[in-house]
Structure 1
Amino acid sequence: MSLKYAPKGKVALFALLAAIKACNVLFVAYMLKVMLNIASSGKSDYGRLVMFAALTAGGQLFFMASNFIYETTKMNIIKDVNMTLKKANLRYLVDQNTLDIKDGLSFMTNDLKQIETNRITAQLDMIYQSLTFFGSLIFAFYNSWEMTLIFIVATLAPAAVQMITSKIITKKAKIWTEKNAVYTQYVSDTLNGAQSARLYNVRTNVVSRAVNAAQDMETALRNMTLTQAWALEIIYSVAELFCFIIPCTIGGIMMMQGRLAVGSLVMMVDLAVNFITPVVTIFNEFNQVKSTVPMWQRTQRSLSYVQKADNFPVDHFDGLKMEDVAYVTRHSKHEIFSHVNISVKPGEKILLMAPSGWGKTTLLRLMLGIYKPSHGEIEINGEDVTGNWQKAHNYYSYVNQKPFIFDDTLRFNITLGREVDEERLLMVCHEAGLDDLIQDNGLDYRVGENGNNLSGGQIQRVEIARALLSGRPILLADEATSALDPRLSLEIHETLLGNPKVAVVEVAHKISDVEKAMFDQIIVLDKVAKKAAETAD
């Protein structure tokens, strides 16, 4: 149940307020009974009638005030549960290290909203409706046990209908979830690929692709919603017949026989509505909850996920070794490279060169422990860290060809939200060559989406500052300057390679002779690996 992720005190308060709200129905029914009995007694007792009318009005004011608190508490619970679910799912998605973000984006924006409206809200409403039903049931039983038994038996009919329809709704919900994920992915593709679509005059094709996915998603949504609506209509019709028409007919016969007073009959009819409405609503809300089962199962995986501590301090770095490393892809079982041997000393600057497509980025991922080689070992400080992200990644910082920039301040993009001493932060920015940018705009400068307010060179320097601030002994650079002009590339390399405290391992397929001269060691990977393979043979 999703409500277990809400504060227990708030849920208890909600249950109390829901009970008070449910008593509103009983209060009105009872006062109606009393006032009708006074009016039908044959006595002109106007004062007593007016007194009960005043009591009824005063009671309604009390219930209105209580209902304000009820609604506020309900909204607070929904907010609390939503935040718990969002935090758990974001934490899980970040830790999965997946390069495909579209499915996660669809889940965070669409599926979680469905859970809010069709599960959390529905379960809160079910608490209130259940209290209303049982309160009305007990009160009715006290006034006429015979009529109450008739109502109880009558509620079995809509229950049977609900059992049949809930399975169908769950199936329709699963189809909608799948179609919605495809639609979100296609919309993302359409927006990200807009420039190419305009360039090659294929805007209609690209838009049609997303529109077709939208059509499939909307059809699935319509089918799910329509099934829910049909189920609700059937439940209402069955409830009207079995929970209202038949019991009221029997009640009329009992009144004719003198076994039921007119006030009691009217009260029972009023309570009958409060049998029907809660029962039908509970069944409808239950169907709403069932529609979220596929999404909730996925959320349960995130809620049960335990995040491991991986921020282990690195007190020293003696060296990195890759011995006879080979890598075979998981899916195609294709060997990308083999017989790779690399040794990195503290502060050493190494350039790894190979043509595009050789697998240079994969090699860096092996160092980080994201991938595990099919053969060979990777050691740091003499300890085997092969395929072990937990042990390996704290030794590395990373500079990408296209760094990711958050739509936030310059400060946040460098610190990534960590508390950092201002003096140290400014020193790192100086080492990364960001003095002019900070002097002109300050650290709280908003860099824009994807760093639109920064130049290409500034974006790279932000990434370098981010890496240097981590204080890690090895900096991996993945084609860090390939998208920059020669002048900027040289400036970035002077920044990257000018720090004697940091070992740098850069992979590139094209670099100037001036920049090559800055490295302590240059390894041409395809030639070295080929020679090692021939030696092994």
Structure 2
Amino acid sequence: MSLKYAKKSRVIIFAILAAIKACNVVFVAYMIQIMLNVASSGSHDYWHLIRLALLTAVGQLGFMTSNFIYETVKMGIIRDVNVTFKKANLTYLVDQGASDIKNGLSLMTNDLKQIETNRVNAQLDMILQGLTFVGSLAFAFYSSWQMTIVFIVAMIAPAFVQIITSPIITRKSNIWANTNAVYTQNVSDSLNGAQSAKLYNVRSNIVTRAVGAAQRMETALRNMSLTQAWSLELIYSAAELFCFIVPCTIGGILMMQGQLKVGTLVMMVDLAMNFITPVVTLFNEFNQVKSTVPMWQKTVKALNYHAQYKKAKIGEFSGMEIKGLTYVTHHDHKKIFEDVSLTVKPGEKVLLMAPSGWGKTTLLKLILGLKKPKTGQILLNGNEVTGNWEAAHNYYSYVNQKPFMFDDTLRFNITLGRQVTDEKLKEVIHEAGLEELVAEQGLDRNIGEDGNGLSGGQIQRVEIARALLSGRPILLADEATSALDPSLSLAIHETLLKNPKIAVIEVAHKISPEEKAMFNKIVHLDKRTIETNMN
């Protein structure tokens, strides 16, 4: 149940307020019974009726005040639970780091909204309707046990309809969840590929593709909503026939026989509506909850996931050794490379060169512990960390060809939200060559989506600043400057390679002689040769 993720105290207060709200139904029915019995008694005591009406009005004002508090507490529970779900799902998705983000986007937008509306809200309403039903049933049983038994037996009909329609709704919701994920990805593709679409005059094709996905999603949503609507209509029809018309007919016969007073019959009719409405609402809310099963299963996985972060900095770094790495793909068992060996000393600058497609990026992933080799070992400080992300990744910072920039301030993009002193931040800004940018724009200016307020070279320097701020002993660079012009590439390399505090392992397939001269060691992976620079 999703409400277990709310504060217990809030749920208890909500249940108390829901019980008070449920008593409103019984209070009105009881006052109607008394007033009609007085009116039908032949008495002409008008003031008695007026006093009863005033008492009813005062009671309703009290219930209204309570209901205001009820709605406030309810909205607070929904807010708290939603934040919990969003935090859990974001933690899980960020920790998994999947390259295909369509399911994550769909979950964080449409799916969680469905869970809010059709699960959290529905379960809160089920508490209210359940209490309303129990209260109405108890008072009805007190007033006329014969009629109450008739109503209870009659409720079998709508319950039977619910049992039949529930699995159909679940199946329809599965289809909708899948088509919605595809639609989300199509929209993302359309927006991200807008420039290419404009360049090649194929905007209509891109829009048509996305609209097709939208039509399939909307059709699936329509089918799910229609099934829910038909189910609700069947439940209402069965409830009205078996829970209202039949019992009221029996009640009319009992009144004709003198076994029921008119006030009691009207009260039972009013309570009958409060049997029907809670029962039908409960069944409908149950269907709403069932419609969220596919989305809820994803959220449960996130809620049960426990992320473990090892934030401790690495102490002294004595060196890295790679012994005979061979990597074979899992899906098609293709050998990418074999018997790769390498040593890296503290502060050493190593360039790994090979043609495009050799597997340089795969080698970096093995070093990071993201992949596991078929054979071979990776040792850090003499300890084996082969295929062990948790043990390995805290040794490394990473700079790639196109670093990701957050739509936030320059300060956030450098620190990534970490708490650092002004002195330390100033130091890494200087070492990364960002002093001019900071002087011009400041640290608290938003750099825009994907860093569109920065040049390519500035983005690379922000990534370098992140790496330096981490204080990790090895920096991995994956084709870090291949998209930059030669002069800018040289400037970036001067920033990276003249820092004695870190070892650098860079992979590249093309680099200038001036840049090569800055490395201590150049490894030609495809030729299995090593050049050593005496600098």
TM-score (norm 1): 0.98
Match of 2:484 in 1: 484
1:382-401 correspondence to structure 2 within 5 Å = 382-401=382-401
1:55-134 correspondence to structure 2 within 5 Å = 55-134=55-134
The 3-state SS of whatever aligns with 2:98 is coil
The 3-state SS of whatever aligns with 2:76 is helix
Match of 1:282 in 2: 282
CA RMSD in angstroms comes to 1.0
* Number of positions where the alignment pairs a residue of Structure 1 with one of Structure 2: 530
Letter in 2 for 1:407: D
Give a deviation string over 1:205-229, Cα, whole Å, max 9, x none: 2222111111111111100000000
Give a deviation string over 1:143-185, Cα, whole Å, max 9, x none: 0000000010011110010000001000000011111111111
Give the whole-Å Cα distance in 2 for the aligned partners of 1:512 and 1:491.
12
How far off its partner does 1:94 sit?
1.2
Match of 1:264 in 2: 264
Give the whole-Å Cα distance in 2 for the aligned partners of 1:201 and 1:278.
57
Match of 2:23 in 1: 23
Match of 2:158 in 1: 158
- Tell me, yes or no, if the aligned pair for 1:338 and 1:529 is still in contact at 8 Å: no
How far off its partner does 1:310 sit?
2.3
- Tell me, yes or no, if the aligned pair for 1:339 and 1:529 is still in contact at 8 Å: no
Letter in 1 for 2:457: G
1:66-465 correspondence to structure 2 within 5 Å = 66-465=66-465
- Tell me, yes or no, if the aligned pair for 1:182 and 1:213 is still in contact at 8 Å: yes
Letter in 1 for 2:374: S
Give a deviation string over 1:231-287, Cα, whole Å, max 9, x none: 000000000000000000000000010000010000000000000000000000000
Match of 2:533 in 1: none
- Tell me, yes or no, if the aligned pair for 2:353 and 2:523 is still in contact at 8 Å: yes
- Tell me, yes or no, if the aligned pair for 1:366 and 1:373 is still in contact at 8 Å: yes
Give the whole-Å Cα distance in 1 for the aligned partners of 2:315 and 2:453.
37
Letter in 1 for 2:248: C
- Tell me, yes or no, if the aligned pair for 2:321 and 2:341 is still in contact at 8 Å: yes
How far off its partner does 1:371 sit?
0.6
Unaligned runs of 5+ in 2: 531-535
- Tell me, yes or no, if the aligned pair for 1:337 and 1:529 is still in contact at 8 Å: no
Match of 2:46 in 1: 46
Letter in 1 for 2:340: V
How far off its partner does 1:367 sit?
0.5
How far off its partner does 1:309 sit?
2.9
Question: Using a 3 Å threshold, how does the CA distance of structure 1 residues 56 and 529 change in structure 2: closer, same or farther?
Answer: farther
- Tell me, yes or no, if the aligned pair for 2:313 and 2:472 is still in contact at 8 Å: no
- Tell me, yes or no, if the aligned pair for 1:344 and 1:503 is still in contact at 8 Å: yes
Give the whole-Å Cα distance in 1 for the aligned partners of 2:26 and 2:93.
48
- Tell me, yes or no, if the aligned pair for 1:428 and 1:468 is still in contact at 8 Å: yes
Give the whole-Å Cα distance in 1 for the aligned partners of 2:224 and 2:520.
64
- Tell me, yes or no, if the aligned pair for 2:26 and 2:136 is still in contact at 8 Å: yes
How far off its partner does 1:53 sit?
0.5
The 3-state SS of whatever aligns with 1:526 is coil
Give the whole-Å Cα distance in 1 for the aligned partners of 2:409 and 2:311.
24
Give the whole-Å Cα distance in 2 for the aligned partners of 1:160 and 1:266.
28
Letter in 2 for 1:98: A
- Tell me, yes or no, if the aligned pair for 2:2 and 2:119 is still in contact at 8 Å: yes
- Tell me, yes or no, if the aligned pair for 2:523 and 2:529 is still in contact at 8 Å: no
How far off its partner does 1:356 sit?
1.2
Letter in 2 for 1:126: M
Give the whole-Å Cα distance in 2 for the aligned partners of 1:437 and 1:529.
41
The 3-state SS of whatever aligns with 1:387 is coil
How far off its partner does 1:9 sit?
0.4
- Tell me, yes or no, if the aligned pair for 1:122 and 1:285 is still in contact at 8 Å: yes
Give the whole-Å Cα distance in 2 for the aligned partners of 1:313 and 1:433.
24
Letter in 2 for 1:113: K
Give the whole-Å Cα distance in 2 for the aligned partners of 1:245 and 1:18.
29
Letter in 2 for 1:458: Q
Letter in 1 for 2:417: G
- Tell me, yes or no, if the aligned pair for 2:401 and 2:483 is still in contact at 8 Å: yes
User: What is the identity percentage for the equivalent residue pairs of Structure 1 and Structure 2?
Assistant: 71
Unaligned runs of 5+ in 1: 531-537
Give the whole-Å Cα distance in 1 for the aligned partners of 2:370 and 2:358.
18
How far off its partner does 1:193 sit?
1.5
How far off its partner does 1:454 sit?
0.8
Give the whole-Å Cα distance in 1 for the aligned partners of 2:469 and 2:395.
13
Give the whole-Å Cα distance in 2 for the aligned partners of 1:234 and 1:403.
56
Match of 1:36 in 2: 36
Match of 2:502 in 1: 502
Give a deviation string over 1:395-420, Cα, whole Å, max 9, x none: 00001110000000111111110110
Letter in 2 for 1:370: L
Letter in 2 for 1:16: I
- Tell me, yes or no, if the aligned pair for 2:313 and 2:471 is still in contact at 8 Å: no
Give the whole-Å Cα distance in 1 for the aligned partners of 2:221 and 2:63.
38
How far off its partner does 1:313 sit?
2.5
Give a deviation string over 1:349-396, Cα, whole Å, max 9, x none: 011111111111111111000011111111101110000000000000
- Tell me, yes or no, if the aligned pair for 2:399 and 2:463 is still in contact at 8 Å: yes
How far off its partner does 1:141 sit?
0.3
Match of 1:534 in 2: none
How far off its partner does 1:529 sit?
8.0
Give the whole-Å Cα distance in 1 for the aligned partners of 2:480 and 2:401.
4
Letter in 2 for 1:469: L
Match of 2:12 in 1: 12
How far off its partner does 1:38 sit?
1.1
**Comparing 357-366 and 133-142, the one that deviates more:** 357-366
How far off its partner does 1:423 sit?
0.6
How far off its partner does 1:116 sit?
0.6
Give the whole-Å Cα distance in 2 for the aligned partners of 1:66 and 1:369.
58
How far off its partner does 1:311 sit?
2.0
Give the whole-Å Cα distance in 2 for the aligned partners of 1:241 and 1:116.
33
**Comparing 30-39 and 273-282, the one that deviates more:** 30-39
Give a deviation string over 1:77-109, Cα, whole Å, max 9, x none: 011111111111111111113211121111111
Give the whole-Å Cα distance in 1 for the aligned partners of 2:111 and 2:496.
43
- Tell me, yes or no, if the aligned pair for 2:88 and 2:303 is still in contact at 8 Å: yes
Match of 1:535 in 2: none
